[in-house]
């Protein structure tokens, strides 16, 4: 082997070595959350749940969560989470996708959301109740940002927590709202957890 070939091999092994180290650091800085079964009650059913490839997101497909022509429907979602050791939740984004059908003489529809966290691994949610009103028929995507206050001493080991979401879908006469799979244009509830190292 001549000096030129040796130099090329040395360069390749150096690049591969750096790549392995960078991948390892990236994997350590991007831990995954383990999600337990999402549970829906009070007027909705969890039809399916799909964890994201990033290890920090979860898509929840609902069934039977819609309100027609003056109805008011409630949905209580509970999502079990297992946070990796050495990390805490910094914030949570929740995206609601669905559709509304609103007659021109109708008062429209609304979607109300409140949040709760239990279990030390999640800390405490800081998010006021939020209501979005829809006065025209359309597909919608509403995103809420939940700031999390970490409990003291939380960084000792990650752990288990429970995210609670209380939803109310309200329709007036001549309007409908869908936050489920009953309508082809309706969507799901997507969660994204932003973690930070202690």
pLDDT bracket for residue 15 (50, 70, 90): very low
Q: How many angstroms separate the CA atoms of 125 and 66, rounded? A: 26
Q: Exposed (0-12), middle (13-18) or buried (19+): which is 152, by Cβ within 10 Å?
A: exposed
Please give the structure tokens belonging to residue 103: 């007659």
pLDDT bracket for residue 27 (50, 70, 90): very low
Q: How many CB atoms lie within 10 A of CB 169?
A: 27
The pLDDT of residue 59 is above 90:
yes
The tally of CA atoms less than 13 A away on the side-chain side of residue 124 is: 5
- The share of the chain scoring above pLDDT 70, in percent, equals 76
Mean pLDDT of 144-168: 79
pLDDT digits (tens, 9 = 90+) for 99-126: 999 998 899 999 999 998 887 667 777 7
pLDDT bracket for residue 153 (50, 70, 90): low
């Amino acid at each position: 082997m001549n000096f030129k070939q040796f130099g090329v091999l040395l360069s390749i092994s150096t690049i591969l070595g750096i790549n392995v180290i960078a991948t390892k650091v990236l994997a350590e800085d991007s831990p995954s959350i383990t999600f337990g079964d999402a549970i829906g009650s009070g007027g909705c059913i969890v039809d399916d749940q799909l964890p994201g490839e990033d290890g920090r997101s979860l898509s929840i497909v609902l069934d039977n969560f819609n309100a027609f022509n003056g109805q008011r429907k409630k949905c209580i979602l509970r999502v079990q989470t297992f946070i990796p050791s050495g990390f805490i939740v910094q914030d949570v984004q929740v995206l609601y996708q669905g559709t509304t059908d609103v007659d021109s003489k109708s008062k429209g529809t609304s979607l109300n959301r409140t949040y709760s966290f239990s279990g030390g691994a999640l800390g405490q949610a800081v998010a006021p109740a939020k209501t979005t009103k829809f006065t025209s028929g359309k597909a919608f995507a509403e995103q809420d940002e939940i700031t999390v206050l970490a409990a003291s001493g939380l960084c000792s080991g990650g752990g288990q927590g429970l995210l609670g979401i209380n939803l109310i879908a309200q329709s007036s006469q001549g309007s409908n709202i869908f936050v489920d799979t009953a309508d082809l244009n309706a969507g799901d509830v997507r969660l994204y957890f932003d973690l930070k190292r202690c």
